[in-house]
Every structure is written in C-alpha cells, then in structure tokens.
Amino acid sequence: MVKFTLLALAASLLFAVGQAATAGPGVLDHDMDPPTDVQQNDGDVHALFDNHCYPRREATPGKVGGAVDCTNYLKRLGTKECRARKGGTIMCRSGGTIVKGFPNNANTASSYCRDVATAVVWVLDHCPACGGSDCDVAGIAAAGGNGYLVIKVSGK
C-alpha cells in the first residue's frame, strides 16, 4: 500500500510540474494575451491583390532557371529596399526571365528585397509550365507582407 501511495504521489507531482511548465513560471492562463489570428491578418494583406498565373496569350513566359536565379539574388539582398515606380521597375533579369515590380494603385511602392523574392517563389510554386526538360513560368504576386508592391515574373 505504501508503494502504491508513493507512486500516486510521484505521478501527481509530475503532472503538477508539467502543468505549471506549460503556462510559464508565475503566469496564469488568464494573464496571457489571446493568440492573434494570423490567417485573418494574412487574408487582410492579400485582399489588396490576388496573385495569379498568366496564360501564354497574356504574357511571354520566362524560364524557371532564371526565376530561381532571381529569387536567390533577391534573397541575398535581404532587407535592402526594392522600390518600384509607376510603369514598372526591373528588379532582376536572368536566363530569359525578368522580375519587374509595380506599385499597386500608387506612384511608388517598396518592400524588402527578400520579400520580393517570396513573390517570385509564389509564381515558381504555382505557375510553371513544363515541356520535357524546358520549363517556363509567368505570373504576378504581391511581395511578402505587402499588397502595395506586386511582382511580375515573365520573359518580357
């Protein structure tokens, strides 16, 4: 009986310690801020612009390899500002692909270059068209976290 009581006591202490650790030292659940609804916030940003792929009749596609090169280049620029002016600004050109930024309903717009790279990645993930080993891509997407700067990936 003593062994059973000691086991029960040890188990209840472990349970209590585990519960206290989840809330943090001296913090009660009702003292914590409620979690932010990230999906809702993300949707608010994307409501400014709907990413989409271009059919061949609407845009000359660029090459996937060039888009990958541009992605890597823009990521390396990190938090450097990538600014686009009305009419469009070329941000990268490589291997038959052009990455061009456009302000969405403004004269200028900017974002970190690494966030421009996320738009190129979206186009790469959603818009490739492959025939054998030759893959083309064309599309337009908002820079990461910024619906005011849209990025076109194409061959022209």
Q: Are 70 and 18 in the same domain?
A: no
65 lies in which domain range?
38-154
Bridge-partner residues for 45, per DSSP?
none
Q: Are 56 and 17 in the same domain?
A: no
99, 117 Cβ separation under 8 angstroms: no
Instruction: Tell me if residue 13 falls in helix, strand or coil.
Output: helix
Q: Are 26 and 45 in the same domain?
A: no
The four Cα atoms 35, 39, 43, 44 give a dihedral, to 10 degrees, of 0
Q: Are 100 and 117 in the same domain?
A: yes
Mean pLDDT of 90-108: 96
- Tally of CB atoms within 10 A around 96: 17
pLDDT confidence band for 155 (50 / 70 / 90): very high
Instruction: Tell me if residue 134 falls in helix, strand or coil.
Output: strand
**CA nearest to 67, candidates 13, 118, 9:** 118
Q: Is pLDDT at 68 greater than 90 in this prediction?
A: yes
Q: Are 123 and 95 in the same domain?
A: yes
Mean pLDDT of 130-135: 82
pLDDT digits (tens, 9 = 90+) for 3-36: 444 344 444 433 343 433 333 333 333 333 333 3
pLDDT digits (tens, 9 = 90+) for 76-87: 999 999 999 999
Mean pLDDT of 100-121: 96
104, 148 Cβ separation under 8 angstroms: yes
What is the residue type of 106? A
Bridge-partner residues for 85, per DSSP?
108
Q: How many domains does the chain have?
A: 2
Mean pLDDT of 46-61: 83
Mean pLDDT of 113-142: 94
Q: Are 132 and 70 in the same domain?
A: yes
Residues 6+ apart with CB under 8 A from 126: 51, 53, 139
